[in-house]
Amino acid sequence: MEILNRGDALQAWTAQMRAEGLRVGFVPTMGALHEGHLTLIRKARQACDRVLASIFVNPTQFGPGEDYDRYPRDEARDRALLEGEGCDALFLPTVEEIYPTGRQTVVRVGAMSRVLCGASRPGHFEGVTTVVAILLNRTQPQRLYLGLKDYQQVCVISRMVQDLGMPVEVVGVETVREADGLALSSRNRYLTSEQRQQATALNRALEAVRARYRQGERGGETLSSLARAVLMESGLDRIDYVALCQSDTLLPLPQAGEDPIMLLAVHVGGARLIDNRFLARD
Ligand code: AMP
């Protein structure tokens, strides 16, 4: 696996791939890799000729008081895991490499980036879209692999790609879970064993909502209340949001329409966890 630390080295590598007519699949991450990330690598491996990953804990997507400083970093382990998956190249930039002194440009998506996680984490998606735009410009991959666990992120980035005419296909990959349903997340490391147990309520709440939807319930408020009740029963009372939304626009749905999605964000101990479920899909 080639280790690329500088933007110009990254550009040279991807230019070489293009010159050879090879399709590159790109998997951006913040490291502390787990099976979720590795699944994205495998999907890219299956569909593309070369796989490029990046590890960059992006300071601009963390708000003041958030976990930027304590975010888990384990470069040696991450490198070994990526090698093991047959990843072809890894971009490992410094903050200075991504954000040159004097920078004045940001990429900001509109309304879709200000609801849900955007409402409680102001500026978060601006940080995400700005760094992803920089990475995409440098790499120009054929495909960009993103996890559906961060569903709003997939929507916001897809919107940016479409609005700015970026020539890349966005591929959303199914959420990878523990056996008890908890979505894998680098932030699960913050949980004590008791909190880890409580955290299973996120998936249980979503399953309960889906079951009620399948029985015919369509009311947004009723379905959201059910999710809240399941969370509260497990002692999770620091609920950031529970929302029923239209899956393509993320607009709130008073009544479940076509292809609704339930999304939630909950503080569990020192971690803020998110999860979601499509109610009408298998
Ligand atoms: P992160 O390192 O948290 O920025 O995540 C990097 C990529 O991995 C993002 O596209 C995430 O959506 C994706 N990802 C994180 N957790 C999971 C998971 N449990 N299943 C699938 N993809 C995931």
**3-class SS letters over the chain:** CEEECCHHHHHHHHHHHHHCCCCEEEEEECCCCCHHHHHHHHHHHHHCCEEEEEECCCHHHCCCCCCCCCCCCCHHHHHHHHHHCCCCEEECCCHHHHCCCCCCCCCCCCHHHCCCHHHHCCCHHHHHHHHHHHHHHHHCCCEEEEEHHHHHHHHHHHHHHHHCCCCCEEEEECCCECCCCCECCHHHHHCCHHHHHHCHHHHHHHHHHHHHHHCCCCEHHHHHHHHHHHHHHCCCCCEEEEEEEECCCCCECCECCCCEEEEEEEEECCEEEEEEEECCCC
Q: What's the pLDDT tens digit per position in 41-73?
A: 999 999 999 999 999 999 999 999 999 999 999
234-275 per-position pLDDT tens digit: 999 999 999 999 999 999 999 999 999 999 999 999 999 999
User: What's the whole-number mean pLDDT along residues 187-213?
Assistant: 98
39 CA to middle of ligand 1, Å?
9
Distances (CA, A) of 59 to 64, 100, 126: 10, 13, 11
The answer to whether the beta carbons of residues 71 and 32 sit under 8 Å apart is: yes
Average pLDDT over residues 30-46: 98
Task: List, chain by chain if needed, residues with CB within 6 Å of any ligand 1 atom.
Answer: 29-30, 36-37, 39-40, 146-147, 149-150, 173, 175-176, 183-186
Q: Residue 86 — φ and ψ, nearest 5°? A: 75, 25
Cα separation, 252 vs 260, in Å, equals: 9
- 130-134: average pLDDT: 98
What pLDDT score was predicted for residue 192?
Answer: 98
**pLDDT greater than 90 at residue 196:** yes
pTM for this one? 0.98
Q: How far is the CA of 152 from the centre of ligand 1 (A)?
A: 12
Give the whole-angstrom CA distance, residue 66 versus residue 220: 30
CA 42 to ligand 1 center in whole angstroms: 13
* pLDDT classification of 200: cutoffs 50, 70, 90: very high
The whole-angstrom distance between residue 217's C-alpha and the CA centroid of its chain comes to 29
Going by alpha carbons, the residue nearest to atom 12 of ligand 1 is 147
From 33, 57, 149, 188, the mutation candidate for ligand 1 (largest count of ligand atoms within 8 A of CB) is 149
Instruction: Evaluate if residue 282 carries a pLDDT over 90.
Output: no
CATH number belonging to domain 186-273: 3.30.1300.10
Name the residue with tokens 């970026």. 166
What pLDDT sits at residue 142? 98
- Closest ligand 1 atom to residue 147 Cα is 12
Residue range 165-191: average pLDDT? 98
Tell which residue, 64, 52, 16, 46, has the closest CA to residue 136: 52
Percent of the chain at pLDDT > 90 equals 99
Shortest-distance Cα residue to atom 22 of ligand 1: 147
- In the chain, CATH 3.30.1300.10 covers 186-273
Which atom number of ligand 1 is nearest to the Cα of residue 37? 8
Confidence of residue 181 (pLDDT cuts 50, 70, 90): very high
Q: Which of 34, 37, 124, 267 is catalytic?
A: 37
Which atom of ligand 1 approaches the CA of 40 most closely? 22
**Predicted confidence band at 35 (pLDDT cuts at 50, 70, 90)?**
very high
With the most atoms of ligand 1 within 8 angstroms of its CB, the residue from 37, 168, 175 to mutate is: 37
User: Cα of 54 to ligand 1 centre, how many Å?
Assistant: 12
Supply the CATH classification number for the domain 2-173: 3.40.50.620
Q: Any catalytic annotation for residue 37?
A: yes
Q: What residues does CATH 3.40.50.620 cover in the chain?
A: 2-173
How much is the mean pLDDT over the chain? 97
Comparing CA positions, the residue from 206, 185, 205, 207 lying closest to residue 196 is 185
Looking at residue 31, what is its pLDDT? 98
pLDDT digit string, tens, across residues 214-236: 999 999 999 999 999 999 999 99
